């Protein structure tokens, strides 16, 4: 930074009073002298800014900024990125923008600016990272990989895809890291058309399939609903790295192919590839999705006794899920009680979900009591337990508790990809340009499904109201709208693939089974936990999910 600029910021920002608080427990400062000595290290400065961001303490952030200038650390790219991110989170956008505007007056080279973009993306500040990107006079492969990979990690796949297309038209050629990132994006959104296009580009550009790229390719096809293609890719690549095996095992698990996953584990052992902790997460998940309780318990013991892999939170969570889904709730609770570490919210939610399935409100209340910070889904699960028992007053009190604590229910969202374009829907959504046609198709489908003998699963609808009102509440769930749009835009016999951010509800699951008979179609739904393949009135999950 130029001396004049350093003087400007120091003078402007040191005007704040110094009221230091112990914002970092491990680095609490008892006096100004302690503060002065600690701040000689720019890593300590970085930690202070991170703490300011978490506590939304803009005043201390500004004081820290002044010290950064004073001690001459204003040319550290990671600190600059953290300052921008901290001010943005503390609702001091004008200061974040001012620093951003100053960046390109400072003596930063390409490497430093790349670090700024990467750091901003890591902190979730995608918009600021994009502004830095567009200000850059030159960009290299690292720049493009940072922006594309960052957007994927921040769940902004459409933008990542747009930047990837821009990159292809620039003079910078994508490398294996670029392709791995964009494949991850295709996998997250289940974008099959884009997945196939990206795979073709890998072949066209003669990109060598290293273990990272091979695993990404297998994972992409599995998550896009093409498990057979994922198997073919797996069979065609080098398999000496555990990550490739993990990709296919987890893919098989998500498709409910538990026996296939266990057979691959045996093959993995024969080929002398050592499993790691991720392998066992996949195996335990496969057992959970298929009700293979005894096998799951066997592999949980095998992990510790034969491979010396100590179970982590995710392994315990998979075991709780495995036992809970099978109705063995007391054993699931005993697993939680025996854990050597504090169970997280995911584990308690797995138990709570099982309590909903098997209508165990007492144990469900224990799960709720142990969740340190309730999320909307936790309240909803407990409320649904009471609804299924027709305890409407208690269910209503749970919902009132949601309102008082300011917690909102996570809205279901479903999407369907057609000709490479993703169309998203929410429950009761009327924002799509073809809304009228979508609702016409859905209403006609509702009539045909009823004629086939379908009855709504209304016991989990909150409200002690008439059956007709409950049915109306269920008619326009997001996956039903997505399915109606898929039917509207595709020819008879075409497979329809739907993706959902939450677990598919019991009513929609039963409804789509009947639709698969009425239309004689294959309908694939990927929900938050697994794939459901509906065909001829049956589902691949065998109603166990």
* In a shared domain, residues 470 and 373: no
* In a shared domain, residues 488 and 524: yes
Mean pLDDT for the stretch of residues 300-320: 95
pLDDT category at 116 given cuts 50, 70, 90 is: confident
* In a shared domain, residues 358 and 380: yes
Query: Has residue 31 got a pLDDT over 70?
Result: no
* In a shared domain, residues 405 and 443: no
- Residue 430 domain-assigned (yes or no): yes
Neighbours of 32 (CB within 10 A): 10
* In a shared domain, residues 340 and 456: no
> Helix 58-70 and helix 3-13: axis angle, to 10°?
150
For the ranges 115-124, 303-312, 419-428, which has the lowest average pLDDT? 115-124
- Residue 87 domain-assigned (yes or no): no
The answer to whether 252 and 260 have CB atoms below 8 angstroms apart is yes
For residue 425, what are the β-bridge partners? 414
- Residue 494 domain-assigned (yes or no): yes
Boundary of a domain, candidates 380, 410, 440: 410
* In a shared domain, residues 422 and 440: yes
* In a shared domain, residues 382 and 435: no
Boundary of a domain, candidates 410, 435, 468: 410
Taking the C-alpha atoms of residue 375 and residue 468, their distance in angstroms, rounded to an integer, is: 30
Which pair of structure tokens corresponds to residue 258? Answer: 């538990």
| pLDDT for residue 459 | 57
* In a shared domain, residues 406 and 423: no
Q: How is residue 40 annotated by DSSP?
A: T
Query: Has residue 25 got a pLDDT over 70?
Result: no
Considering its fold, how many domains does the chain have in total?
2
Query: Has residue 15 got a pLDDT over 60?
Result: no
Residues 473-494: tens digit of each pLDDT: 678 899 999 999 999 999 999 9
pLDDT category at 13 given cuts 50, 70, 90 is: very low
* In a shared domain, residues 323 and 357: yes
Residue 324's φ and ψ, nearest 5 degrees, are: -65, -45
* In a shared domain, residues 321 and 436: no
* In a shared domain, residues 421 and 454: yes
- Residue 406 domain-assigned (yes or no): yes
- Residue 271 domain-assigned (yes or no): no
Average pLDDT, the chain: 84
Q: How is residue 191 annotated by DSSP?
A: -
- Residue 222 domain-assigned (yes or no): no
Mean pLDDT for the stretch of residues 433-438: 96
Query: Has residue 382 got a pLDDT over 80?
Result: no
- Residue 512 domain-assigned (yes or no): yes
pLDDT category at 384 given cuts 50, 70, 90 is: confident
| pLDDT for residue 374 | 53
Percent of the chain with pLDDT over 90: 54
Residues 198-241: tens digit of each pLDDT: 999 999 999 999 999 999 999 999 999 999 999 999 999 999 99
Query: Has residue 132 got a pLDDT over 90?
Result: no
Boundary of a domain, candidates 392, 410, 428: 410
Query: Has residue 511 got a pLDDT over 90?
Result: yes
Task: Encode 486-532 in three state secondary structure.
Answer: HHHHCCCCCCEEEEECCCCCHHHHHHHHHHHHHCCCCEEEECCCCEE
Q: What domain range includes position 420?
A: 413-539
- Give the end-to-end CA distance of the chain in Å, rounded to a whole number: 58
- Residue 78 domain-assigned (yes or no): no
* In a shared domain, residues 382 and 402: yes
| pLDDT for residue 197 | 96
């Amino acid at each position: 930074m130029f001396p004049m600029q350093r003087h400007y910021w120091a003078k402007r920002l040191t005007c704040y009073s110094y009221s230091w608080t112990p914002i970092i427990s491990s680095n609490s400062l008892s006096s100004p002298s302690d503060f002065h000595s600690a701040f000689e290290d720019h890593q300590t400065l970085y930690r202070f800014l991170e703490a300011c961001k978490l506590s939304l303490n803009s005043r201390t952030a500004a004081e820290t900024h002044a010290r950064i200038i004073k001690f001459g650390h204003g040319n550290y790219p990671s600190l600059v990125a953290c300052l921008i991110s901290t001010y943005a989170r503390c609702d001091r956008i004008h200061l974040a923008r001012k620093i951003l505007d100053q960046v390109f007056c400072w003596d930063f080279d390409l490497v430093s600016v790349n670090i700024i973009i990467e750091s901003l993306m890591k902190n979730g500040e995608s918009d600021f990272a994009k502004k830095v990107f567009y200000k850059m006079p030159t960009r290299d492969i690292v720049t493009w990989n940072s922006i594309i990979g960052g957007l994927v990690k921040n769940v902004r796949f459409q933008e990542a895809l747009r930047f990837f297309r821009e990159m292809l038209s620039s003079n910078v050629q994508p490398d294996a890291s670029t392709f791995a990132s964009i494949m991850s994006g295709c996998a997250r959104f289940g974008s099959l058309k884009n997945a196939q296009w990206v795979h073709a580009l890998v072949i066209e550009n003669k990109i060598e399939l290293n273990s990272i790229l091979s695993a990404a390719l297998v994972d992409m096809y599995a998550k896009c609903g093409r498990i057979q293609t994922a198997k073919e890719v797996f069979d065609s690549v080098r398999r000496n790295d555990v990550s490739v095996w993990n990709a296919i095992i987890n893919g098989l698990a998500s498709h409910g192919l538990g026996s296939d996953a266990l057979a691959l584990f045996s093959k993995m052992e024969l080929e002398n590839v050592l499993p790691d902790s991720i392998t066992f997460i996949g195996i335990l998940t496969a057992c959970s999705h298929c009700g293979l309780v005894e096998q799951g318990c066997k592999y949980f013991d095998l992990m510790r006794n034969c491979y010396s892999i100590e179970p982590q939170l995710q392994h315990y969570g998979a075991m709780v899920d495995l036992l809970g889904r099978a109705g063995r709730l007391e054993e699931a609770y005993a697993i939680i009680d025996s854990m050597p570490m504090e169970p997280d919210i995911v584990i308690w939610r797995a138990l709570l979900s099982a309590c909903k399935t098997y209508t165990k409100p007492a144990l469900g209340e224990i799960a709720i009591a142990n969740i340190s910070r309730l999320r909307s889904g936790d309240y909803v699960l407990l409320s649904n337990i009471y609804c299924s028992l027709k305890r409407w007053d208690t269910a209503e009190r749970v919902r009132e508790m949601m309102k008082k604590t300011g917690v909102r229910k996570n809205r279901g969202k479903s999407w369907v990809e057609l000709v490479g374009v993703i169309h998203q829907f929410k429950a009761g959504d009327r924002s799509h340009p073809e809304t009228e046609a979508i609702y016409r198709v859905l209403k006609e489908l509702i009539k045909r499904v009823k004629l086939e003998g379908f009855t709504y699963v209304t016991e989990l609808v909150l409200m002690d109201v008439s059956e007709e009102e409950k049915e109306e509440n269920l008619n326009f769930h997001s996956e039903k709208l997505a399915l109606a749009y898929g039917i509207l835009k595709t020819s008879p016999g075409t497979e329809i693939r739907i993706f959902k951010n939450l677990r598919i509800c019991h009513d929609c699951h039963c409804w789509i089974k009947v639709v698969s008979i009425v239309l004689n179609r294959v309908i694939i739904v990927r929900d938050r936990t697994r794939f459901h393949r509906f065909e001829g009135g049956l589902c691949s999950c065998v109603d166990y999910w």
